[in-house]
Amino acid sequence: DPKTGNFKVSFIEGDGIGPEISKSVKDIFAAAKVPIDFESVVVKPLLVNGVTSIPEEAQKSINTNLVALKGPLATPVGKGHRSMNLTLRKTFGLFANLRPAKSVEGFKTIYDNVDLVLIRENTEGEYAGIEHAIVPGVVQSIKLITREASERVIRFAYEYARAAERPRLIVVHKSTIQRLSDGLFVDVAKELQSEFPDIKLETELIDNAVLNTVSDPSKYSDAVSVCPNLYGDILSDMNSGLSAGSLGLTPSGNIGHKVSIFEAVHGSAPDIAGQDKANPTALLLSSVMMLHHMGLHEHAAQIEKAVLTTIAAGPECRTGDLKGTASTSSFTEAVIKRL
Ligand code: NAD
């Protein structure tokens, strides 16, 4: 904004607990004096000629600001709507899903030092939605892999590895069986390698990746993994389970050529909505990813540290999902005190 010198970011507060956890982010950003003005956008699903779409005003805001933060959106059941997340992905060409999974001190899981980064191809593979019945009782589902989509996500993965100073890029695949499709994905990674001599390229079969990750996740602390859509869907939730034991702490980024949208992985939690019980951590850590993406590294580090030290401080500082007694607002206050 030329008047204030601040960045403008679109904010989809979302449904259910969305407004409560969004308020937490806004209060903490204001206290930390982050140079961002949020523009609230409402994303209620519309059916245009039978196709789910998002309101034009929201599209305009996001296409202008290029960065958005998003709370959870409830998918209306039984009204012919496609998932809103899929709609956002398609509308803004968000081709890569970035899922870091890091241990949180103060919330014990099997492993203490999990630090994984997974990048999932977000537009094709088994999610291309090409399925048909050949004859009754025989159906066919097509896994679509293109050079173009593989190249853009793998290039982003190399660039991310370089920026995050993680010197290994691991392509996760099953090209022993899916010779042509996963084979192409692996070939593209090998072709791009010459542009990134500082990053070591490795390949790993999906079954080995699962076994090695659950056996010793610390083997991957210096790596970024990249994989086709379905493997990424499954692996990323496994990584969250290993690091945080729940999706309630897991942030994510959806990256496109122009627009990027950062969001918590959890849903709208209708069972606790409006009760000041929701944990805003996943949305806060998503906002930290967003600040890094925008180059606001110092603000990102300050907020991340305040959130993590609050969680580590004891059960009276944690929300109910982490077996604590804090409310959304008392947790937020505690984070603000630690900024
Ligand atoms: P959910 O994630 O909303 O809830 C699962 C459980 O986790 C509930 O018990 C809930 O109380 C708890 N929970 C989730 N987030 C929490 C938080 N921040 N703090 C404390 N507890 C939390 O999953 P669901 O019940 O399967 O889905 C509810 C709605 O959310 C559906 O309409 C679904 O379509 C939508 N959804 C949206 C997204 C998204 O926008 N990214 C993702 C998943 C589900």
Is the four-CA dihedral 239, 242, 247, 253 of positive or negative sign? negative
Ligand 1 centroid–CA 24 distance in Å is 17
Measured on CA atoms in the order 310, 315, 316, 321, is the torsion positive or negative? positive
Q: How far away, in angstroms, is 265 Cα from ligand 1 center?
A: 8
Per-residue burial over 239-270, b if 16 or more Cβ lie within 10 Å, else e, is bbbbbbbbbbbbbbbbbbeebbbbbbbbbbbe
pLDDT more than 70, % of the chain? 98
pTM of the shown model = 0.93
Average pLDDT over residues 60-86: 85
Q: In testing the pocket of ligand 1, which one of 79, 84, 266 has its CB within 8 Å of the most ligand atoms? A: 266
- Of 41-50, 166-175, 223-232, 233-242, where does mean pLDDT reach its minimum? 41-50
Q: What are phi and psi of 297, to 5 degrees?
A: -65, -35
pLDDT of residue 78 exceeding 80, the answer is no
Query: What span, in angstroms and rounded, lies between the C-alpha atoms of 92 and 255?
Result: 9
Q: 293 CA distance to ligand 1 centroid (A)? A: 25
85 C-beta closer than 6 A to ligand 1: yes
Q: Report the alpha-carbon distance of residue 176 to residue 307 in Å, rounded.
A: 43
pLDDT higher than 90, residue 121? yes
- Ligand 1 centroid to residue 222 C-alpha, Å: 31
> What is the pLDDT averaged over residues 196-208?
98
Residue nearest to atom 2 of ligand 1 (CA): 267
Angstrom distance (rounded) from CA 41 to CA 48: 19
- Nearest-angstrom CA–CA distance, 262 and 121: 16
Give residue 20 CA to ligand 1 midpoint distance, Å: 14
Comparing 2-11, 39-48, 240-249, 303-312, the range with the smallest average pLDDT is 240-249
Which of 31, 29, 54 has its CA nearest to residue 43? 54
User: Is 74 close to ligand 1, i.e. is its CB under 6 Å away?
Assistant: yes
- Atom 32, ligand 1: which residue's CA is nearest? 74
Residue 267 alpha carbon to ligand 1 centre in Å: 3
Choice from 15, 23, 254, 268 to test ligand 1 binding pocket (greatest atom count within 8 A of CB): 268
Report which residue type is found at 250: T
Span 181-206, average pLDDT: 98
CA–centroid distance, 184 to ligand 1, in Å, is 36
pLDDT, mean of residues 134-148: 96
Closest by Cα among 292, 316, 318 to 307: 318
Ligand 1 proximity of 284 Cβ (cutoff 6 Å): no
Element (H, E) at 284: helix 281-293
Dist. CA 311–CA 305, nearest whole Å: 10
Q: Is 279 in the pocket of ligand 1 (CB under 6 A)?
A: yes
- Among protein residues, the one with the nearest Cα to ligand 1's atom 7 is 269
Is the beta carbon of 241 within 6 A of some atom in ligand 1?
A: no
Rounded Cα–Cα distance for residues 116 and 296 (Å) = 22
**Which phi and psi (to 5°) does residue 78 adopt?**
75, 20
Rounded to whole angstroms, the Cα distance separating 242 from 226 reads 18
What's the pLDDT score for residue 83?
A: 77
Q: Is 272 in the pocket of ligand 1 (CB under 6 A)?
A: yes
CA 188 to chain centre: 24
Q: Does the pLDDT at position 171 exceed 70?
A: yes
Residue 34 pLDDT grade (very low, low, confident, very high; cuts 50, 70, 90): very high
pLDDT digits (tens, 9 = 90+) for 218-255: 999 999 999 999 999 999 999 998 987 667 789 999 99
> Residue 246 has what pLDDT?
67
Q: Ligand 1 pocket, 75 CB below 6 A?
A: yes
What per-residue confidence (pLDDT) applies to 81?
A: 65
- For residue 14, what pLDDT is reported? 94
Residue located nearest, by CA, to atom 23 of ligand 1? 267
For residue 208, what are its two tokens? Answer: 């080995």
pLDDT tens-digit readout, 254-305:
999 999 999 999 999 999 999 999 999 999 999 999 999 999 999 999 999 9
CA angle 164, 36, 69 (to 5 degrees): 65
Position in ligand 1 atom list of the atom nearest CA 21: 18
* Residue 98 scores a pLDDT above 80: yes
As given in the structure block, the two tokens for residue 110 are 């099997």
Say yes or no: CB of residue 263 within 6 Å of ligand 1: yes
Quick check: 206 and 172 in contact, CB under 8 A? yes
pLDDT at 188: 98
What are 220's two structure tokens?
A: 């991957």
The share of the chain scoring above pLDDT 90, in percent, equals: 81
